Chain A
Amino acid sequence: MTARTSFPSAYDLPAPKGAEAWRDLYPYYLLFAENRRGEEDGKFWFCDSQHWPNPFKPFDAVTVEFAVKCLGQYNTRHYLVPPANGVDFRIHNGYVYMSPVAVAPDDIGPRVPQFLDRAGHYFANWDRLLENWLVKVKANIAEMEALRFDDLPEVVPVDWVKEGVGLDSTVPLAEAYDRAIQLLYRTWNYHFEFLNLGYAAYLDFFGFMKSQFPTISDQSIAKMVQGVDSDLFRPDDELKKLAKLAVSSGVAGNLSAGSVEEVLAAMQGSDAGRAWVAAWEAAKDPWFNFTSGNGFYSDDKYWIEHPDIPMGYIRDYAARVARGEEIDRPTAEIAAERDRITAEYRDLLDPEAQAAFDAKLGLARTVFPYVENHNFYIEHWSMSVFWRKMRELSAVFHRAGFWENPDDMFYLDRNEVRDAIFDLGMGWGVGAPASGPSYWPAEIARRKAILAALQSAPPQPALNTPPEVITEPFTIMLWGITTDAVKKWLSGAGDATRLEGMAASPGVVEGRARVIRSASDLGLIEEGEILVTPVTAPSWAPVFGKIKATVTDIGGMMSHAAIVCREYGLPAVTGTGSASSTIRTGQMLRVDGTTGEVTILSAA
């Protein structure tokens, strides 16, 4: 097989059969436009299936729009990162493709003093600014939580009339929607306030270590920086606490009472049970604002709305506690190991390099908690509230006859929702039927068919001709897109029984593969299997107690799968490109998280 040198052009990639009209689903500025072909084909685009593994429903595209736009603005307009602007992005056939934007060589120098002033201020005042960040984000969440999406009443409340409010009931509905979108936009602004700088400081330490030890593994560097206690692990820790409490107070038997309601009812039968329910309720806010998805999709399931998910995990944990197993993460050991390896690598350095090591590691450790923790506050907590509010709004329309299913609003894009609110309000105000009920059901059915067709075709890993060497630091760190990875994509699968990826978490194990394509299949995983999946979310944490190793298609050293596996001491190979389509459930695998190799040992 001759290796290709280029990926196809977006303009030559036809829509899957049945999805020909997919462009109707997304705004014009997210599409590869025919009249910009010359310009767009000159750029290299890679598919971000790490964050967006499935085609977007029209509304859900708001996540990529806000997130990637805000990522860019911090490089381009806030801190003026000298060589790097943002990341340009397009949707094609339902998937998102990214292209980092370099700064023109002549403009790099003049940005340096600005960068030193602006970014330097953040590094110098990191903890204080971060404290303030948490205040802002919590206020943002509280405001979102307070938004109300109620059915329009039959008539304007009489006291509104008598108080002379002079507004009707559609005004607060429309304003609440606009405010929700504004608050979401703020959420994604905040998300990147610290993230780019955090990665940059981490990269500085990373590059320094590579300069001193050319072959030091990425995971060794990560281990020195990574924290032991992250808010990201707190939801899972809460479940473990509840499991232990159930066992120690003798009410664990009630966990098998059936549904969540039945469990809680059974618990009411004793003081210990009532105390357990109080602990369960206390843990919910905020820690059940946690999704088994990644926060970027309207159908991500959050524990707070699906308490059967955490209850199931608690039941599993309680059974293990009852068997005498230790279910807590070995935090003391992890901390001791981190100290040990830090001291040993330091000891191998020349004395003048040791001083730099101390300074750079210190900065990396200052910034790194944000890199881990933000995920809880944004992707989990903020997005949990946002999606819940949007579902409340969708239900209002559903009750007004606009669509067939309560969550069908997500087949409209965010601006169409505004239109629909006006349509609803217009019918209500005029006293005539709104158009929506006769327009949207058919349109939504058409869109569903398009999305199903898009779903049937996997994305291209990349578009157009890659640069000879990929050097853009954020591309490498966040997406794991390296020169080698791109070469592998171009050369095709090669040996079908061996896959290579990033050695993301050390160790070697053999076991049965379980291929999981979406969070809703997580329940299929059996004890001792190896999880094979396009990408994991950190919230899959409870399944990490069951599995032996993880293999993903996408993701670098700092991907969520890598972080969680290192925390749990499981081998992980990330960024294999094609594991989830090459490997089948039931096959025996050997996963070497130290070398990044996955071997298929036997057929299913």
Chain B
Amino acid sequence: MIARDPTIDPRFILPFETAAEADHPRMGGKCASLARMIALGVPVPRGFAVATDAYAAHLAANGLDAAIRAELAHLDTHNATDEEARSQAIRRLVTERAMPAEVEAAIRAAYAGMSPAGDLPVAVRSSATAEDMPDASFAGQQDTYLWVVGADEVVDRVRACWASLFTARAMSYRADHHLGQIEVLMAVAVQEMVDARSAGVAMTLDPINGDRTKIVIDASWGLGESVVSGEITPDNFVVEKVLMQIQKRRIAEKTHEVVADPAARRTVDRVIEAERRTQPCLSDDEVIAVAQLARRLEKAIGGPQDIEWAIDRSGRLVALQCRPETVWSQRKAAPQSFALGIEGVLGTLMAPVRDRT
């Protein structure tokens, strides 16, 4: 629980646990999804959103807005060299200008609320407002910082997330999708770090054929980053979602894992020792627990979902992200008509004949 510290300014800080539906637009897609999951009773690591208003306040202070606009006015996204130069200039502007004092105070107070000792490792992730729109797979365009410790570092990383809105890649993407450059607002998630033993993703349909009776889970050792980035071949499980039965297990050789290095206050990508590489990273019970979590989210939210999850070293399963599945869900289904009764039976008996010709 985050202490209700009066210095936590609700204009800038929205704790996941207390955010109302009306606050969601100010939290960005990722934070809104976390808040929604908490409201549904799904276990999610505690944390808060640095609201879009905090970013807006940062832009408005110190003439930053005008300085960025000046760079953008001459932006040529078809000229890679120019784009990269302007990207760096804008990001320098965003990270080097001091944060408005009231924003910074709010972030520090919120972090202190989670960690009175000021030493809780957190993840700082961008949560852009356009990011999780079903028709713009904007995921992964902004930065994520893991194992961030201490209020100073949190404040720095929040600014770094804001700046990541202006990577060359993000600017090109917005240009290609006819999205405004400076109009896109960003919130930032600050969330207790999960010391993951195993983590991965779960999709509530089979991505190969769109079959909605399946939940497909990719999982590997350590934090989910290695699975999401595709750097390793994860274990793959297919679960029948209505019967809640594991129908396929493909155990991969998992070479690397991303894990915490608490002494160095960071995560490290390390080689997995030989005997653990080919072991399943989830027990059957854990596979079912992940599938049940995914099914519960799918039912509550409605429609196929794409979920990131982790299991910490004490065996606790948490959800880290939940967004609508975009590929199959948007495929325009051909209008279906069905023959019923005797006509249906006739069609079924005739089908093999039609298939042969």
Contact = CB atoms under 8 A, between A and B. Distances in A.
B333 A350 contact: yes
Interface string B313-357: 000000000000000000001011110111111111111110110
A428 interface: no
Contacts of B355: 469, 471
A348 B341 CA distance: 22
A216 B213 contact: yes
Contacts of B243: 217, 220, 341, 506
B241 to A, nearest CB: 8
Interface residues of B, number: 35
Secondary structure at chain B's binding surface: helix, strand, loop or mixed? mixed
Contacts of A345: 213, 242
A344 interface: yes
A590 B243 CA distance: 20
Contact of A220 (B240, B246, B248): B240
Nearest to B333: A350
A81 B212 contact: no
Contact of A108 (B240, B338, B344, B353): B353
A360 B346 CA distance: 13
Contacts of A594: 240, 245-247
Given A82-B346, A353-B338, A473 B240 contact: no
A160 interface: no
Given A214-B211, A215-B209, A472 B352 contact: yes
B346 A116 contact: yes
Nearest to A207: B348
Contact of B348 (A105, A120, A200): A200
Contact of A213 (B213, B246, B338, B349): B213
Contact of B351 (A81, A207, A356, A359): A207
Given A214-B209, A215-B211, A81 B242 contact: no
Contacts of B247: 217, 594-595
A572 B246 CA distance: 16
A183 to B, nearest CB: 31
A363 B340 CA distance: 9
A217 B336 CA distance: 22
A123 interface: yes
Contact of B349 (A84, A105, A363): A84
A119 interface: yes
A341 B242 contact: yes
Interface in B204-218: 206, 209, 211-214
Contacts of A214: 209, 211
A72 to B, nearest CB: 15
Contact size range, A: 35 or more
B349 A120 contact: no
A326 interface: no
Contact of A200 (B211, B248, B349): B349
A200 B349 CA distance: 7
A108 B240 CA distance: 39
Contacts of B352: 83, 471-473
B171 to A, nearest CB: 39
A473 B348 contact: yes
A352 B352 CA distance: 25
B340 A359 contact: yes
Interface of B: 206, 209, 211-214, 240-243, 245-248, 333, 335-338, 340-353, 355-356
Given A220-B242, A469-B355, 13 more contacts: A116-B343, A123-B342, A200-B345, A200-B348, A203-B349, A204-B344, A204-B348, A215-B213, A220-B213, A359-B338, A359-B341, A363-B344, A472-B352
Report the 4 A-B pairs with minimum CB-CB distance, sorted nearest first. A471-B352, A356-B338, A204-B348, A120-B342
